[in-house]
A and B are shown apart, each in its own frame.
Chain A
Amino acid sequence: MTRQVQDAFKAGIPIFIGYVPAAIAFGILSKSCGITLLECFLFSAVVFAGASQFIALNLLMTGMGPGGIILTTLLVNFRHFLMSAYLSTRIGRIAKKYIFLIAFGVTDEVFSVLSFKKGQLSKTFVFVVQLSAYSGWISGTIAGYILGGFLPEILTKSMGVALYALLLAILLPEIKVSAKILILAIASGILNTILIKLDILPNGWTIIVCILIIALTGSFFIMDEIEEKACE
């Protein structure tokens, strides 16, 4: 195994570990909602977007029709547009041939891992990370649907923290290097909390507004840095 593949697995395995419990929770919830194993599997296999899958199940239970569910999904997942915009500036020339596959696997966690990898992203690195995430999500979904009833509730609840811990763990090395990253992240979290409390935006759009406002504000500080360096 080359060094590159090893690095990719090192980056991908934590996502696998974070996704399995979250997907188990999705499988359990699917079963309790009365959908079939095939439908549950298809949710994870073709949509592959955690939060929106949970939301879709909730909406199904409230009796919302297909149009409403699909529109909500679009709103909830639109943040990936911004993440793809960022990643499109980072992938290497060879990886460009594979954008149709790469785009499918742009989840929050895959994006977070890829975004803090130094240098250009090779197709091997991107695919290994995405396949780790995908296989964790699918296997967890099926396991949850079939075995869910046997797991103690307290355990499945605790596993919900895994995704948040994953995101935090990805961010920590960056925070150590630059306090600005920490300030940006906290400011974004505070803004998101306020927007959710105000309850004026549809589900999922608070995150989009946070990314736009915070990244725009942050870009002014970074510009100063770039200009200072140019002056030295």
Chain B
Amino acid sequence: MNNLIPVILGMAAVTYGPRLIPFLFMTNREIPKRVDAFLKCIPAAAIGALIIPGVFSVTPDMPFAALAGMAFTMIYGLWRGGIIIPVLGSVAVTYLVLFFGA
């Protein structure tokens, strides 16, 4: 394609639309309990599907490497909490496994 900019703008429009529309329908009325319970479950459901199965193909040549990194995040995160160390540590562990395992 010679000029990508129209495609990029089109992508931007169809990405922004779904992100915006629910906010426009926001009201001050109280949300029914059933809908509220449904909305409350969205974060966990979304994160689960975003991680699995994608995480198994981060390092396609050696899936174990990424899983070792995630194991670090899991153990350190449960033990000490926080986000920065679990994230940077997972990259470091993955790197070390790829480096010495290859």
Range, interface on chain A: 35 or more
Tell me the minimal C-beta distance from B23 to chain A in angstroms: 4
How far is the CB of B25 from the nearest CB of chain A, in Å? Answer: 7
* B41 and A215 contacting across the interface, CB-CB below 8 Å: yes
Which residues of the other chain, B, contact A46 by a CB distance below 8 angstroms? 8-9, 12
Q: CA separation between A195 and B19, bound complex, in Å? A: 24
Q: With contacts A84-B20, A85-B22, A207-B50 known, is A172 near B78, CB below 8 A?
A: yes
Structural contact, A165 and B37, CB atoms closer than 8 A: no
Given contacts A56-B11, A77-B14, is CB(A219)–CB(B37) below 8 Å? yes
Give the residues in chain A near B7, CB-CB below 8 Å.
56, 66, 69-70
What separation, in Å, do the CA atoms of A117 and B66 have in the docked complex?
28
User: How far is B98's CA from A232's CA once the two chains are assembled, in angstroms?
Assistant: 54
Q: Within the assembled complex, what's the spacing in Å between the Cα atoms of A176 and B78?
A: 7
A49 touches B83 (CB 8 A): no
Instruction: Known contacts A169-B82, A219-B37, A223-B34; decide if A108 and B50 are in contact (CB<8 Å).
Output: yes
Bound state CA distance, A88 and B42, in angstroms?
A: 13
Chain A residues near B17 (CB, 8 Å)? 74
- A86 touching B43, Cβ below 8 Å: yes
Candidate in B8, B26, B88 with the most chain A CB atoms within 10 angstroms:
B8
Contacts of A14 in B (CB 8 A): 83-84, 87
For A191, list chain B residues within 8 Å (CB).
49
Query: Residues of B contacting A181 with CB < 8 Å?
Result: 44
| Chain A residues with CB under 8 A of B44 | 171, 174, 181, 184-185, 188, 214, 218
Q: Which residues of chain A in 12-69 are interfacial with respect to chain B, using CB atoms and an 8 Å cutoff?
A: 13-14, 17-18, 21, 35, 39, 42-43, 46-49, 52, 56, 60, 66, 69
Chain A residues engaging chain B, CB cutoff 8 angstroms: 13-14, 17-18, 21, 35, 39, 42-43, 46-49, 52, 56, 60, 66, 69-71, 73-74, 77-89, 96, 99-100, 102-104, 106, 108, 111-112, 115-116, 154-155, 157-162, 164-176, 181, 184-193, 196, 206-207, 210-211, 214-216, 218-220, 222-223, 226
30 residue pairs from A and B, CB less than 8 Å apart: A14-B87, A21-B91, A39-B8, A48-B12, A56-B7, A81-B18, A81-B19, A81-B21, A83-B42, A86-B43, A89-B26, A99-B24, A112-B46, A158-B69, A158-B91, A158-B92, A159-B91, A162-B87, A162-B88, A164-B51, A164-B58, A167-B50, A168-B47, A168-B73, A169-B82, A169-B83, A172-B73, A190-B52, A211-B45, A226-B33
Residues of B within 8 A of A (CB): 1, 4-12, 14-26, 31, 33-34, 36-55, 58-59, 65-66, 69-70, 73-74, 77-78, 81-84, 86-92, 94-95, 98-99, 102
